[in-house]
Amino acid sequence: MFTLQSVELRYGGTVALDGLDLDIKSGEQVCLIGPSGAGKSSLLGLLNGRTAATSGHVSVEGTDLAKLSGKELQKLRSRIAWVPQDLGLVSSLRVHQNVACGRVAEKGFWGLLRSLLGMRASEKAVIHELLKRVGIEEKIFQRADHLSGGQQQRVAIARALYQQPSAILADEPVSAVDPERARDLVALLSTLAKEEGVTLVMSLHDLTLARQFFDRVIGLRDGRVVFDGRADDAGVRDLYRLGGEAMPDPSVVS
């Protein structure tokens, strides 16, 4: 699904990603972990074509992103859902309208506006079904800013699924919630991605969640991959060396 070859990303004098080689297969569930500033957000930004690599090659489904026109890149990006840290909901819009925003790249601005102003019953039914899957169908006509943090996260997940993506990229989607809610949410995203056969790449701070839900964990530090594999007990010792905010609570690591 995603291939990176000798990828470097610089912001002025700062090297955010330093000679990355990675291959993420279609349908894989991958967790990115590492201290603040390790390059997790930068890597996710490259995978959905928001940012261009300074050097090296980023390919999505075999297509080198640097070779695409603006329009082609937009089309490709419409199949890669993005769940940002702040969720990116429009607070004054209702839940069903926020979910509809998942298809803005496909419908274009005017198409989306038409859909927001007078949504067809068939579209509403699809959105209702998605909201049922994330457990908040009764909130379909609520304003987004009248929902709890956990409910807003579920709207963001429904919006991502509505996009019918081949991959979902999530940048620390649970950093602002309590551990129990974070666990429920990662579980939900992971289950839904598996059911849909969608590739999932998520950055997390919590190594316990990474171990619990992901077969593959990629540890980053200073823009380099320092760990890539299963977070089993031997792997955890390597991940410990990441230090900083990625350090798990020692009580949860045997």
For the CB of residue 112, give the shortest distance to ligand ADP in the complex, in Å: 27
What character string, x for contact with ligand ADP (CB under 6 A) and - otherwise, covers 67-106? Answer: ----------------------------------------
- Which is closer to ligand ADP, CB of 79 or CB of 224? 224
Q: Is 16 in the site for ligand ADP (CB under 6 A)?
A: yes
As measured in angstroms, the least distance from the Cβ of 221 to ligand ADP is 9
Residue 111 or 244 having the CB closest to ligand ADP? 244
Q: Distances from the Cα of 119 to the Cαs of 101, 113, 132, in angstroms?
A: 12, 9, 18
Closest CB to ligand ADP among residues 38, 131:
38
Stretch of residues binding ligand ADP (CB under 6 A), selected from 9-17, 59-67, 189-197, 210-218: 9-17
Residue nearer to ligand ADP on the CB measure, 16 or 30: 16
CB closer to ligand ADP, 35 vs 229: 35
Chain positions 20 to 59 lying near ligand ADP, rule: CB under 6 A, are 34, 36-42
- Site residues (CB under 6 A) for ligand ADP, limited to 163-182: none
- Applying CB under 6 A, the site for ligand ADP has a residue count of 11
> Could you list the residues that contact ligand ADP (CB under 6 A)?
11, 14, 16, 34, 36-42
